[in-house]
Each structure stands twice: as structure tokens, then as C-alpha cells.
Amino acid sequence: MDKHSLLVVDDDPVILKLVCEFLKRSLADVHVDATNSPNTALHRATSYQYSAVLTDVMMPDMGGMELASKIQAARPDMPIIFMSGTAHALETCRSLAYACLQKPFDIEIFVDTVRSAVATSPYSRT
């Protein structure tokens, strides 16, 4: 069983697939789970032991900030990494963020940020 796990949330199926495939190749020791539904993400993040959550900011039904608030109500120390194509959207999330990443990502910074979030998470398995 993997010691680290990451839940990736993005309503864009192309972005979701690319991000997950890249992370699986780059971070072999991290189990990567994905959903395009913020409601499914909320259920999973509060029911299962993820090390961190990587979420898009702007999604229909529930935005990334609302999702993060609800996750952190149940798991207060959960590292949340926000991603967005706009700097303005990321600014609104900083108070809840472990990190904010603007698309397109600098690949090295992206991988290092995710690696750091899962490695330092109190929700990683020992």
C-alpha cells in the first residue's frame, strides 16, 4: 500500500487526465486518484485517507475554494494545492492553500510542490 496519496480534482477531463498521468510517472511512490466532480471529491477526501488534494479553482456546482473549506472542516490540516489558469482566481484561495499554481505549470515547481505536500502531510501513512 502506498504511503502517500493524492486526490486530483478538475472538471476538465483533458486536464485531469494529463495531470494524473504526469504525476503517476513523476511520483511513483504516490497513489494518484482523480475525479471531475467536486461533490465526489468532498466525499472521498473526508472518507478516505489522502495525503493531499490538488484542485482546480473554478468548477461548476462547487468551486475549489468551497471544496477546500469543506474538506478542511473535516480534516483541518489537509494540504490543499490550488491550480488555475488565472492569477486572480488563485489570489482568492491563498488563505486555504498549501500552494497555488498557475496553469500552465513550471513542471519542476509543480512536481516539487506536490511531493512536498504529500511528504509533510499529517495524513500520510507511516
pLDDT in tens, 54-113: 999 999 999 999 999 999 999 999 999 999 988 888 888 888 899 999 989 899 999 999
Order of all β-strands in the sheet with 52-56: 30-35, 4-9, 52-56, 80-84, 99-102
How would residue 2 be classed by pLDDT, with cut points 50, 70 and 90?
A: low
Just give the CATH number of 4-119: 3.40.50.2300
Domain ranges for the chain = 4-119
Q: Per-residue pLDDT averaged across 106-125, rounded?
A: 93
Q: Calculate what percentage of the chain has a pLDDT beyond 70.
A: 98
- Render pLDDT for 7-26 as a digit per residue (tens, 0 to 9): 999 999 999 999 999 999 99
Q: Phi-psi bin for 79: left (phi > 0), alpha (psi -120 to 50), beta?
A: beta
User: How far from 58 is each of 44, 51, 81, CA to CA, in Å?
Assistant: 19, 22, 13
